[in-house]
Structures are given as C-alpha cells and as structure tokens.
Amino acid sequence: MTKVITKHFEFLNHAFELAENARGRTSPNPFVGALIIKNGKIVGKGFTKPAGGNHAEIQALKESGKNSENATMYVTLEPCAHYGKTPPCTEAIIKSKIDKVVIGAKDPNSLVNGKGISKLKSAGIEVICDVMPKKFRKQNEAYITYITKKRPFIILKSAISLDGKMAKKNGNSKWISCEKSRKIVHKIRNEIDAILSTVNTVNSDNPQFTVRYNLKNPKHPIRIILDTNLNINPDSHIVHSAKNIRTIIATNKNPDSKKLEFLESKKVEIWRIRQMDNYLNLTEILEKCYQNEIAQIMIEAGPTLISQFLKEKLVDKILLFMAPKIFGGSDKFLWIKSSESENDFSKIRLKDVSYKKSGDDIMIEGYPIYGDKR
C-alpha cells in the first residue's frame, strides 16, 4: 500500500511539472497537467492549451490512444463535466475506458466542484481525489482567487532601498534593483494578465510595461493605468504602443471629451469609473477586470496606490526586491504611504515568507494576512 501511495505522489508531481508548460497561457482557466500510466509506464501526457484549446486530459488521451484502456490517469485538477469552450473531459475519459483517475485537487469552480468526480464514479471508474490540494492551490493561486473571490489575484511588486525608499532624493526611481531582479520581473510579466499603474508613474518614468530580456514567445500584459483626469503624457510609450498592446485607462465618469477623443484615436480603451474622494473606486475596477477575464494583475506603481490597495485588503501576494543601497532624504519616497491616523498597516503580517538572493538584491515573497490573525 505504501508503494502505491508513493507512486501516486511521484506521478502527480510529474503532472504538476507538465502543467508548468502552460503557466501564463491559459487565463482565466487553470493550467493543468495530466499523465496516463499503464503497466508502470507513461503512455500519454499533456498540459492545458490556451483558452478554447484542448485540456490536459484530452492531450494525454490523444497521445495514449488505445493504450488508455485499463490505464490510470493522473491529473492535477478534477476533470470538467460541463460544456464550455470545449466538451467535458469526463466524457472523453469514460469513452477511453480509463480504469482509475487520481486527482491532485477538487475544482472550486461551481460548474465542476465534485460533478466531474461523480460522473467518473457513476461510470464505474475508481477515483482518488484531493491527493495534493495544497500544491494545486499554490500553483494555481490566481485561478483560485479569480473563481472564489470573483476578482483578479493581485501581486504587489516593488523595488526598494535598504531604508525603504522607492526613489532617490531627486525623485529618480529607475532601476533601483539589479539586472537579475529585473529579469525576474519580466518573467512574471510574461505570465500575468495585466499590469496596473498610475498616470503619475507613467508621466514620471515613461515605462513600457512590456516583456523584454529575450524571453521566448513573450506575451505582453495588458496595461491598466489609473488616470482620473486623463492627464497622461500623449507622447508616452504607453500611448504610442496602445495600437499593438491592449491598453486601458481608468478615468472618472465624465472625462474631458477632447482628451478622450485623442486617446481613443490611439486605440486606448477607456473605462469610466466612480470616483471616491480623491481616487477611483478600486473595487469597481477589479469588477471590470473580472468581467474582462483578467485573472491576475501585478501592481507596478508608487506608494499612494500601493497603500490604497493594502488599506482595502486587496493585495494577495507581495514581491519585494531590496537593493543594498541607502537613499536617505525625507520620507516622501517610502514605499508605503501612511499617517498616524492610519494604523491599518501595523496589523498586516506575511505568511509563507521566502527569501532569495537575486544578484546583489534580496527578493522577499509572502502572502499578507490582514488583522491580528497569524
């Protein structure tokens, strides 16, 4: 029995490795890996294709062909049992005469959530489920948040000095981190759906928010810029490249008509959002993202937006690159903007924290817990 259980973990881990081939290419769907084993040997394997393409199970079944009969399928996520952009995977598994299905985790999507398991069992297939649920939740953390919270998974990325500054005394914030750290950021950009920033960041730094560093088959993220009064520099990289890369500007409900006309002529998409005091309603922006199937966002902005997201408890993951530099000066460029009356930040703790050397920098990754829970 112990040998059997060990084999389950071994083959499922292989399936998880297969799934990584699809990271960043299946949103808003999860990326899944599948493996078909017969007489101790791999006869089929697959991973999720982009939305509308074959699921991992179908890829594996196509490769295995007639060898599927009386074989065991290992799949990282419960097979779907409903019609979406593709037919149900459960039907294909049943037709293939697979003998047993070992599943890493149950699918939290209400369209599936146990239905796939039930259909397989009803067809006489042995099912072993939730063998490695934590591993799936970690691997597909964006999908889990998107499905359960009905909003995108939010990564807060920042590069800071040892004294917590995002910029030097003169306001220059370009390339605080080393080249290796920047390469890591571009790799993440290649995997997410969108970057969220502000007009202040665009106008001061003129960023491109694209994927570079010679990554294979780069996928540029959508750029979402918060600009209440449409004050974005018309000569910025963001505006000039909007015809080639989907670019969204979130602004107030009644924007300046001339500015609006100009931006739309440059193929910029405009979202009209309710204004709350001095900022745009973040919840409404995230609702729009959800409706547009934007499942994972990375914030690349200054302390005002960072602080607002933290204050509203909307950050799911923090990625901090700390450079071995001291900038000094005033507290103006601290990466979190606070005041004595706002003590919400003192209650935030990080869980599952990891530290890694990145060139000369230290990369800190963790998941915020809001409140007194630890």
Opening angle at CA 238, ends 237 and 243, nearest 5: 105
Q: Please give the Cα distance from 327 to 335 (Å, whole number).
A: 12
Q: Are 125 and 100 in contact (CB under 8 A)?
A: yes
Instruction: Decide if 54 contacts 33 (C-beta within 8 A).
Output: no
Asked if residue 74 lies in contact with residue 34, where contact means CB atoms within 8 angstroms, the answer is yes
Q: 């009803």: which residue's tokens?
A: 122
The reply to whether 91 belongs to the active site is no
CA 349 to chain centre: 21
Of 17, 57, 91, 179, the active-site residue reads 57
Q: What CA–CA distances, in Å, run from 345 to 299, 313, 336?
A: 18, 10, 9
CA dihedral over 94, 87, 63, 78, signed as positive or negative: negative
CB atoms within 10 A of CB 31: 26
CA–CA separation, 312 and 61 (whole Å): 45
* Residues facing 356 on adjacent strands: 363
Nearest to 223 by CA among 187, 250, 204, 183: 250
Beta-sheet strands, E only, within 212-254 = 222-226, 247-251
Residues belonging to the active site: 57
